[in-house]
Amino acid sequence: MRQLFANRTSSILLQEKCDEADEKSVSKQKPGDESGNTVVVAPPEFRFMYPEFLPDPAMERRNRLKEKLERIDMLQRRSVVEIPEFYTGSVMAVTVADANSPNKFARFVGICIQRGGSGLRAWFILRNVVDKQGVEILYEMYCPLIQKIEVLRLERRLDESLLYLRDALPEYSTFPLDMEPERRLNNSVVPINPLKVKLRPRPWLERWERQNLQGVEDLNLPQRFYDKAEKVAKPWEKYDLMLQYRKTIPAEEQEKIFSDVHSQLQQQEFKRKMRRRRGTDNEQ
Amino acid sequence: MSTLGLLRTLFNPKIVTPNAIQLQSLNRSPFLVGLFFNHEQVRTMSRVKRRTTHPPYWHVLKNNQRQDEKISSDNLRFVREVIQDKYKNKSPIKGSDLDIEKKEWDPKTKRSGVIARNIGVQHMWEKDGKKVVCTVLHVLDNHVIRYVPPEEYAKSIIGAKVFRNRKPLGCLVVGAEAANPDRFTRQYCSLFNEVGLLPKKRLARFIVTPNAVLPPCTPLTAGHFVVGQAVDVYGKTIDYGFQGVVKRWGFKGGPASHGATKFHRRGGTIGTGRDKARVWPGQKMPGHMGSERRFCRGLKIVRINMKYNVIYVKGTVPGPTNSIVQIFDTVLPRRKFTEAPPHPTYFPPEDGTLPQEDIWDSSLHVFGSPSISV
């Protein structure tokens, strides 16, 4: 029972089993800086697990003090509500306080098709098909109306954005509203679902043939679509280092940000685990 | 005076200033000119220059030309230490010093304002779950530089204009953002000699009543304001540069298709052929947009962080992120103070107890508190 609740970022449990795969998850300790204190560096996966802690890269609008204050507020909110690790492609359930619902709480289950925003503005979109009607809801992660966020199935897909599910057959977006959380067999690695989705016949909402989608089956379009896509494509962008630089936060800054945040997040994880254990012990 | 002129003065009780342009339409009958077809458009702003790139002529030259002084890094460090020792940025003024001359607050008091930097926008939520966009303002290291008493200020160029027909008030010169004296001229640094502080990058004047006077070297912090009060924020708007008529004035332009030849974002007609037979001053045309001084009035303070000297204000503020703004108590009559605020300013308590670090307005949801259930 205990192993199932083990979180791979907990350094306490990982010290017992130090595999090749798990070594990456252990928080490293840098050889000391000038003052002689050891600097704890967060695991490198933090930038995928908690991407909203990184600020918007646009340099004109950046301010270190404001980012710091925002991070403090985010951690405060996280101490009250558990915002778990999730990726686009994960199936999640969100419970929100709603005055118009019969129970005053509204629960929605869906697959995360997109996530974005930075800081307290971080959001994600859940999609499901309810009574043959596709429904998408955008949730702001730090909104105080959210009571609970559960990840029912933690997995990734081949694409960062699953907006093509809007043009796909409905069975790919349908998830039962009373779905139970699935238990993961291997806790250290988030599985990538190599599913290739079948799209409905055209017309579509976007020109999917121009977007290099990996998670979509062969589109079977006439050749002229692919020719036009080639004309419009920007193949040089993958060599454009400055473009990538401007879109991301430099590695040194990321380290600094996550080392700030890491210890607090670890503490919160630990407290939650203790609470859960006490809860299961009480039940038993 | 002719009958025409008499009738015009009777029906058009406007004060004619040199800048105003009055159109006297000779095509219409004199009785109707003032009553129904008022062609007189007073364009007082048409000749006024809205922005300059140079400071007023009575200002001292501020910035030094950069000189390539070839000194070693050790000597540079020594110079910096000397500057730090000479100009201690800590103010010797404590609250107890002011107790002797502490003056009473009354509703007509005008307190000093504060110079701050707009560091961005943060979303917060109210207790019913409604999202609120708040601007984060970082109160810089403000110190009072000088006080100009009312009689003296009324004789200055700006003071004479401001107090032409009313009782003069005093003026507090406040500085913010201490910087290395090397980058400023000697004349600019001499402005701070009396106070004994590092020269400040920014200076501002705040009109104050004599009972809200602060002695030089007094620090002003975020505690000067009270959570829940309304403030006016004064700043320079975002500079959009040379902009066309669609963005600058909101014109509709022309049709995107249907055969429109080279007429998509243009202004179109700029006048009729008949009245006045020329383009009127003030005609909306492309030009420089933005970078103008504006006020945002009556913004409510929803949160103050005393540790970092940061104020969260509900709404948005003129200017881009990281620009300097000035914050004052509001002028709007229904949102002014009813009780005494920290007067003349806030001083930390003498017994060394720290103030509450983070003060929230009662309408806001505090992040560490449990989720809202409706």
Structure confidence at residue A18 (pLDDT): 34
Look at residue A225 in the predicted model and tell me its pLDDT: 96
Q: How distant is the Cα of A7 from the closest Cα of chain B, in angstroms?
A: 24
Q: How far is CA A193 from CA A22, A90, A173, A196, in A?
A: 21, 10, 14, 9
> Can you give the pLDDT at residue B224?
95
**Domain contains A166:** yes
Nearest 5°: phi and psi at A137? -125, 130
- In chain A, what residues touch B358 (CB-CB under 8 Å)? none
pLDDT for res A283: 57
Pick the last residue of a domain from A185, A210, A225.
A225
| Burial category of A56 from C-beta neighbours within 10 Å (exposed 0-12, middle 13-18, buried 19 and up) | middle
pLDDT > 70? residue B78: yes
Let me know whether A126 and A56 are in one domain.
no
What residues of chain B have any CB closer than 8 angstroms to a CB in chain A?
A: 119-120, 122-125, 129, 131, 136, 138, 305, 308, 310, 320-322, 365, 367-374
What is the distance between the alpha carbons of residues B94 and B349, in angstroms, rounded to a whole number?
A: 9
Query: Strands, DSSP E only, in chain B?
Result: 114-125, 131-139, 142-148, 170-178, 200-208, 219-220, 230-236, 241-243, 287-289, 293-305, 310-314, 323-329, 358-360
Is A91 found in the same domain as A202?
yes
Mutation target vs B (from A56, A65, A138, A141; most B CBs, 10 A cutoff): A65
Co-location of A153 and A203 in the same domain: yes
- Decide if pLDDT at A1 tops 50: no
- Using pLDDT thresholds of 50, 70 and 90, give the confidence band for residue A39: low
pLDDT digits (tens, 9 = 90+) for B91-109: 556 555 555 456 788 889 9
Q: Assess if residue A274 is contained within a domain.
A: yes
**Cβ–Cβ of A70/B122 closer than 8 Å?**
yes
- Does the beta carbon of A21 lie under 8 angstroms from any beta carbon of chain B? no
CATH number of residue A124's parent domain:
2.30.30
> Which has the higher per-residue pLDDT, A83 or B101?
A83
- Considering the domain architecture, whether residues A95 and A210 belong to the same structural domain is answered as yes
Size of interface A-B (CB pairs under 8 A): 77
For residue B35, name the pLDDT band (cuts at 50, 70, 90): very low
Which range among A16-30, A265-279, B302-316, B331-345 shows the weakest confidence by mean pLDDT?
A16-30
Which pLDDT belongs to residue A108? Answer: 96
Quick check: is A43 in a domain?
yes
Min Cα–Cα distance to chain A from B374, Å: 6
**Looking at this predicted complex, what is its ipTM?**
0.82
The mean predicted confidence, pLDDT, of chain B is 83
Least confident of A125-139, A221-235, A239-253, B36-50: B36-50
The nearest alpha carbon in chain A to B368 belongs to A76
Instruction: Clarify whether residues A154 and A46 are in a common domain.
Output: no
Q: Does A138 touch chain B (CB under 8 A)?
A: no
Say yes or no for a CB contact (<8 Å) between B368 and A145: no
Q: Of A82-86, B31-35, B355-359, which gets the smallest average pLDDT?
A: B31-35
Count CB atoms within 10 A of the CB of residue B110: 18
Least confident of A6-20, A78-92, A234-248: A6-20
Residues in chain B, total: 374
Q: Which of A55-69, A108-122, B20-34, B315-329 has the lowest mean pLDDT?
A: B20-34
pLDDT at A113 over 80: yes
Residues A98 and A49 in one domain: no
B368 neighbourhood in chain A, CB within 8 Å: 76-77, 79-80
**Higher local confidence (pLDDT), B4 or A230:** A230
Number of domains making up chain A: 2
Beta strands in chain A (DSSP E): 28-30, 39-41, 91-97, 105-116, 123-130, 133-140, 146-153
Residue A243 lies in a domain: no
Residue A176 inside a domain? The answer is yes
Q: Is residue A164 part of a domain?
A: yes
8 Å CB contact between B170 and B150: yes
More confident residue, B337 or B92: B337
Query: Quick one: A209 and A98 in the same domain?
Result: yes
The two tokens of residue B73 are: 């890094």
Residue A205: inside a domain, yes or no? yes
Show the domain range for A61: 38-83+249-279
Q: Look at the block and give the residue holding tokens 């949730």.
A: A139
Residues of chain A with Cβ-Cβ distance to B322 below 8 Å are: 60-61, 63
Q: Please indicate, yes or no, whether residues A156 and A78 belong to a single structural domain of this protein.
A: no
User: Chain B partners of A106 at a C-beta cutoff of 8 Å?
Assistant: none
**What pLDDT does residue B30 have?**
42
B317 pLDDT tier (thresholds 50, 70, 90):
very high
A271 touches chain B (CB under 8 A): no
- Cβ atoms of A178 and B163 within 8 Å: the answer is no
Report yes or no on A237 lying in a domain. Answer: no
- How many other C-beta atoms can be found within 10 angstroms of the C-beta atom of residue B52? 7
Residue B93 pLDDT: 62
pLDDT digits 0-9 by tens, B182-239:
889 998 999 888 888 889 999 999 999 998 999 888 899 999 999 999 999 999 999 9
Amino acid type, A193: N
Q: Which residue of B has its CA nearest to A74?
A: B367
Q: Do B138 and A146 touch (CB under 8 A)?
A: no
Helix (H, G, I), strand (E, B) or coil at B22: coil
**Which residues in B lie closer than 8 A to residue A123 (C-beta atoms)?**
none
- Enter the DSSP assignment of A81: S
Residue A26 is encoded by which pair of tokens? 């252990």
Instruction: State residue A278's pLDDT score.
Output: 87
**One domain, residues A77 and A97:** no
pLDDT band, residue B348 (cuts 50/70/90): confident
Does one domain contain both A56 and A142?
no
Q: Which of A61, A72, A53 is CA-nearest to residue A141?
A: A53
Same domain, A56 and A119: no
Question: Based on the domain organization, do A42 and A53 belong to the same domain?
Answer: yes
